[in-house]
């Protein structure tokens, strides 16, 4: 297990902090249920700065490749991660609510023990589709039956063709 990077978010911004690193996919535990396997890693860079309105902001860049399970065929689906996001830091609930009303950008509560790995993992999860699938026609679903061809186009045109053919046996 790699060393976790924890920052005081406002202090990181005040000091114009920059940090980059690599996180093995194995360490992204909240992603595990969505993954086909736990191979690979993601790289990231986090930068603290004050935006044009003098709001403390964290800029995240996340890149990598993860292997998801296709929700259609349950086979490996290669997903390329290429995320960039700015997160405004709110000092209290009032600032957080104001940001929701004023800005279209995301905001999080500033804290003195922000775990960057958890933040990266959260951004990856938020960047995923609700149901990740291969593009139409690229799934590896194949039905095999020793006595008949269930992949016949006339049978597969009807959604219950497979059930009907199984009922005959």
Q: So where are the chain's domains? A: 6-135, 139-169
Least confident of 3-17, 45-59, 90-104, 130-144: 130-144
**Quick one: which of 48, 40, 39, 52 has its CA closest to 20?**
48
Please state, rounded to an integer, the average pLDDT across all residues of the chain: 85
Q: Name the residue with tokens 């920059």.
A: 18
pLDDT tens for residues 110-158? 999 999 999 999 999 999 988 888 888 888 765 444 444 445 554 446 7
Q: Distance between CA 89 and CA 105 in Å, rounded?
A: 11
**Can you give the pLDDT at residue 101?**
76
**Can you give the pLDDT at residue 63?**
97
Q: Distance between CA 10 and CA 25 in Å, rounded?
A: 28
What percentage of the chain exceeds 70 in pLDDT?
87
């Amino acid at each position: 297990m790699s060393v976790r990077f924890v920052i005081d978010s406002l202090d990181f911004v005040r000091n114009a902090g920059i940090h980059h690193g690599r996180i093995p996919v194995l360490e992204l535990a909240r992603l595990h249920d969505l993954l086909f396997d736990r191979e690979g890693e993601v790289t990231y860079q986090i930068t603290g700065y004050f935006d044009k309105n003098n709001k403390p902001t964290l800029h995240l860049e996340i890149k990598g490749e993860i292997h998801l399970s296709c929700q259609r065929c349950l086979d490996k689906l290669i997903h390329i991660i290429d995320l960039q996001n700015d997160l405004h830091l709110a000092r209290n609930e009032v600032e957080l609510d104001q940001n929701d009303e004023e800005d279209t950008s995301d905001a999080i509560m500033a804290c003195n023990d922000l775990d960057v790995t958890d933040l990266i993992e959260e951004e990856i999860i938020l960047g995923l589709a609700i149901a990740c699938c291969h593009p139409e026609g690229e799934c590896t679903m194949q039905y095999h039956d020793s006595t008949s061809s269930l992949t016949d186009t006339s049978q597969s045109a009807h959604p219950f063709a497979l059930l009907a053919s199984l009922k005959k046996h």
